[in-house]
Amino acid sequence: MKFGLHQPIGYLVLGLIFTLLGCDSSGGSQGTTNTEEITANFSSSTTYYILAEGYAGATGAYNLKVELAAVDFDAIIQPNPTSGIPGGTVSLAVTLQNIGGMTASNVTATLSTTDAEVIIQDGTAAFGSILAGGNAVNTTDPLVFRIASSHVNNQPVSLSMTVTASGGGSWVFPVSVPVPFADLDLVNLSLSDPGGNNNGFPDPGESVSLGFGVTNSGASTATGPISVAVSIEAGSTVSGATLLPTGSTVCSAGNLAVGGTAACPARTLTIPAGAANGQTIILNFAFTDAAAHTWSERRTLVVGGAVFASILPVLDPIGDNGAYNCDLRDVQASVDATNILRIRTIFATPCNLTGIHDVYMYDGTRMITLTLEGNAKNIWTNASGTWELTPNPTSFTITPLSGTTLDVTYTIPLADIPNLVITGNSVMMFAAVILSWSEADYNDYAPDSPGGSMPWVTFAW
Ligand SMILES: [Ca+2]
Ligand SMILES: [Ca+2]
Ligand SMILES: [Ca+2]
Ligand SMILES: [Ca+2]
């Protein structure tokens, strides 16, 4: 059998033939460089023939190099049990496959870890010799480690398994074993101040009610009773604020299943009259289960109104508002400790809200607009592929809806935003206004977008 008969004149061609057990078993290589390579599996005690041919003037002296493919390993690592528990032990059933070209001898696996909550109890296993293409299992030579009882964070433990063999080389395989545990999180923090100015913010001299709950976002049941203690951290800039009741109260008398939520007794927070707007009260929520495991979270309340920050790289130009009197100048946003999102569009000068005002929001897949149109609030979405109205939660407000104003504030709890999937603490947005849909394009975008492309910016909180 010859290779490369159809190669253009002047190209080097090498063809190789392997003869196995009296039958032709061929592998070949041909090309336009003067180096060709063939990989094949050989059997012992067998004679092989290699035929090299050069064509069309490419004859000459060539070097022939025969190399054995080195030892190489794959590993299948099966933990037993498949999930660990705090304080429990895990053994590893390891199947090593020799995917190299020759026998591996004196094969050994060694466990190591940088995880302080992993205690290796039997860190070595010998596998003897493994033929090329063969595999071996550590059935009679265990690999065992223990998980510290302090490992109660619902995170996997991680180790490395290093395989060595005679002749040098080492192969490192990561080992990760899940350790499911409960993970208690603060949810549904709300603030009401009907005894004060009822603006939803803690103001100087007010006593406000803090409602909240606890949810188990972990991977195993939290054992009840589940209690909470709330305290004011020393880093608060408000001094003299008080919380009632003090001490620990029970959120759930029984267990809290994975995904379960329980309401906790509300706290009354009293802000001293001498506090100033912008000062902070840092609350620490410490949840405890029946076995005295604790999970802590903190939230920072800011005295006075929402603390807005501009989302624009630069203020929007003045006078780029075409036919509509409302000239966008700034877009500011805020998310407070109770997870209420506020977006404020600010105009260059006060204007009459006769047109359509959109705040676009985007989670990377779906878009919505918080819309002021016809002096009413709406939310539109493109989730179905075309823009449609979505249900309009009562918690969504726009202030003001009409009249002449310097700014408009859109308010909606993050949890009530329809359609979007907001993961983490950011969302993309921009603002645009138009006199009416008879315009060719929005009259003004912020961030500025003279070409009309969507000028997304990421707002993070
Ligand atoms: Ca062992
Ligand atoms: Ca208030
Ligand atoms: Ca503008
Ligand atoms: Ca603009």
In the reported structure, the alpha carbon of residue 244 is separated from the centroid of ligand 2 by a whole-number distance in angstroms of 18
Predicted confidence at residue 67, as pLDDT, reads 72
- Let me know whether 45 and 94 are in one domain: no
In the reported structure, the alpha carbon of residue 236 is separated from the centroid of ligand 3 by a whole-number distance in angstroms of 39
Cα 358 to Cα 380: distance, rounded to the nearest angstrom: 9
Q: Which residue has the tokens 């002749």?
A: 167
Q: What is the CATH number of the domain that holds 409?
A: 2.60.40
In the reported structure, the alpha carbon of residue 449 is separated from the centroid of ligand 2 by a whole-number distance in angstroms of 38
Residues 6+ apart with CB under 8 A from 297: 185, 186, 284, 285, 287
Split into its structural domains, the chain has a count of 4
- Let me know whether 281 and 322 are in one domain: no
Task: Specify whether the CB–CB gap between 374 and 389 falls below 8 A.
Answer: no
Cα 407 to Cα 348: distance, rounded to the nearest angstrom: 9
In the reported structure, the alpha carbon of residue 110 is separated from the centroid of ligand 1 by a whole-number distance in angstroms of 9
Predicted confidence at residue 55, as pLDDT, reads 59
Q: How far is CA 204 from CA 80, 193, 199, 395, 423, in A?
A: 58, 12, 12, 25, 34
In the reported structure, the alpha carbon of residue 326 is separated from the centroid of ligand 3 by a whole-number distance in angstroms of 8
In the reported structure, the alpha carbon of residue 420 is separated from the centroid of ligand 4 by a whole-number distance in angstroms of 25
List the chain residues with pLDDT less than 50.
1-26
In the reported structure, the alpha carbon of residue 426 is separated from the centroid of ligand 2 by a whole-number distance in angstroms of 26
Q: What is the CATH number of the domain that holds 117?
A: 2.60.40.10
In the reported structure, the alpha carbon of residue 308 is separated from the centroid of ligand 3 by a whole-number distance in angstroms of 19
- Let me know whether 328 and 426 are in one domain: yes
Last residue of a domain, one of 37, 67, 97: 67
- Let me know whether 315 and 448 are in one domain: yes
Predicted confidence at residue 158, as pLDDT, reads 97
Last residue of a domain, one of 35, 67, 99: 67
- Looking at the chain, how many residues does it have? 461
Query: 49 lies in which domain range?
Result: 1-67
In the reported structure, the alpha carbon of residue 434 is separated from the centroid of ligand 3 by a whole-number distance in angstroms of 12
Last residue of a domain, one of 143, 177, 211: 177
In the reported structure, the alpha carbon of residue 315 is separated from the centroid of ligand 4 by a whole-number distance in angstroms of 9
In the reported structure, the alpha carbon of residue 310 is separated from the centroid of ligand 4 by a whole-number distance in angstroms of 14
- Let me know whether 197 and 334 are in one domain: no
Full-model pTM: 0.73
Among 365, 337, 334, 367, smallest CA distance to 459 is for 334
Residues with CB under 5 A from ligand 1 (ion): 122, 125, 141
In the reported structure, the alpha carbon of residue 140 is separated from the centroid of ligand 3 by a whole-number distance in angstroms of 75
- φ/ψ of residue 8, rounded to 5: -60, 155
Predicted confidence at residue 66, as pLDDT, reads 72
- Let me know whether 348 and 455 are in one domain: yes
Query: Residue type for 297, please?
Result: E
- Let me know whether 325 and 425 are in one domain: yes
Task: Specify whether the CB–CB gap between 347 and 333 falls below 8 A.
Answer: no
- Let me know whether 78 and 58 are in one domain: no
Predicted confidence at residue 28, as pLDDT, reads 61
Which ligand lies nearest to the CA atom of residue 444 in the structure? 4
Predicted confidence at residue 114, as pLDDT, reads 97
Q: What is the SS3 assignment for 406? A: strand
In the reported structure, the alpha carbon of residue 347 is separated from the centroid of ligand 3 by a whole-number distance in angstroms of 7
Predicted confidence at residue 9, as pLDDT, reads 35
